[in-house]
Amino acid sequence: MGPEMALAIPSKPSQTVRRDLEGASPSFLVSEPFREPLAALGLTSLDAVFAFDGARDLVKPNIGRFRRRLQFEVVPAGSDRPVKVYLKRYSRPPILGQLRNWLSHHRRRSFARMEHEAAGRLAAAGINTPNTVACGEQWRNLFEHRSFLITEQVKDSRSLESQLPPCFQGPMIPEKQQARCDFIRRLASFIARFHETGYRHRDLYLSHIFRSSEGDFCLIDLARASRPFLRRRFQVKDIAQLHYSAPAESFTRADRLRFYLAYTGRRRLLPRDKAFIRKVVRKAHRMARHNRKRGNRIPFLGRVTGERQ
Per residue in 52-73, pLDDT (tens digit) is: 998 999 887 667 789 999 999 9
130 DSSP 8-state letter? P
For the domain 157-304, what is the CATH code?
1.10.510.10
| 47 Cβ contact list (under 8 Å, min separation 6) | none
Q: How far apart (Å, rounded) are the C-alpha atoms in residues 9 and 85?
A: 30
pLDDT digits 0-9 by tens, 184-234? 999 999 999 999 999 999 999 999 999 999 999 999 999 999 998 888 999
**Residues 201 and 219: beta-carbon distance below 8 Å:** yes
Domain ranges of the chain: 29-152, 157-304
- Listed as own residue / partner, the contacts of 168-175 with beta carbons closer than 8 Å and 24 or more positions apart are 168/250
| 10 Cβ contact list (under 8 Å, min separation 6) | 126
* Residue 237 confidence (pLDDT) above 90: yes
23 Rama class: left (phi>0) / alpha (psi -120 to 50) / beta? left
**Residues 137 and 146: beta-carbon distance below 8 Å:** yes
**Angle 124-205-307 (CA atoms, 0-180°, nearest 5)?**
180
| 54 Cβ contact list (under 8 Å, min separation 6) | 41, 72
pTM above 0.95, yes or no: no
Nearest partner of 13 among 135, 110, 152, judged by Cα = 152
pLDDT digits 0-9 by tens, 143-174? 999 999 999 999 899 999 999 999 998 888 88
Q: Beta 143-152 vs 209-212: how paired, if at all?
A: unpaired
**Residues 31 and 140: beta-carbon distance below 8 Å:** no
* Residue 25 confidence (pLDDT) above 80: no
